[in-house]
Amino acid sequence: MFYGRRESALVKKAFVAVVLLFVATAAWHGYRIARGPQEEADAVLLPGPDIRVQSPSPASPPEAEPGPDPVEPEMSSLPPIEAASAVAALPPPPPPYRAFVDEPWLHVSKGRLKMYYYIGDRLEREYSIAVGANGGQKERVGDHRTPVGSFSVQQIQDSRGWTYDFGDGKGPIRGAYGPWFIRLKTPRWKGIGIHGTHDPESIGTMVTQGCVRLWNEDLEELKERVFIGMKVIITE
């Protein structure tokens, strides 16, 4: 009888444990259902005890701050375009003539649109000029070329009263040669010389019919330096 009662108590305890386990399991499942599917999906189940850790949501990239609006450059702020006639910035070429120590002479450089006044091999003065409208050696009358070669001053003439008709419909222009005409001795060609102008803006261009043209104020200065027989070298 004693052992029968003991076994009966053990059975009762086992039954109570099973019931408690069933109740606990049912309660847990009810809790999971109450949390909802979304939270369940975001949870990460770690191994070991039933511990759930909320997974971090992916970080959204920060929005880039808008930069300044592009500004179109103003025309006045753009660098100026250099003129094609930048020959004025070129250094003087090597002297094409071996002069005596104190010999004054002139070098006309058609390509540089400059005339250089030397004493011996020493450069004393530089003048801006205009030359023939066409480049190269003069070949015929009316080809608008300045002759190239070694020449000399033949005559210095007062040309203040001279006129010239350029054929532009304006008729004869008084003062077209400036105050002086320094005539050059050029074999084969007549009427080639160094003179002034009524059009100062023409200096620094290729525009003449073959003569060498200066600003009138430069011509006045040059006239005091030249003399009959003075050497004049004209190069391309």
The per-residue pLDDT for range 118-152, each reduced to its tens digit, is 999 999 999 999 999 999 999 999 999 999 999 99
- With tokens 């999971």, the residue in question is 32
The whole model's pTM is what?
Answer: 0.62
Confirm if 126 and 116 have CB atoms less than 8 A apart.
yes
42 Cα distance to chain centroid: 62
Percent residues over pLDDT 70 in the chain: 64
pLDDT computed for residue 168 by the predictor: 86
Average pLDDT over residues 154-160: 97
Residues 9-53: pLDDT tens digits? 666 666 766 667 766 666 655 655 555 544 444 434 444 444 444
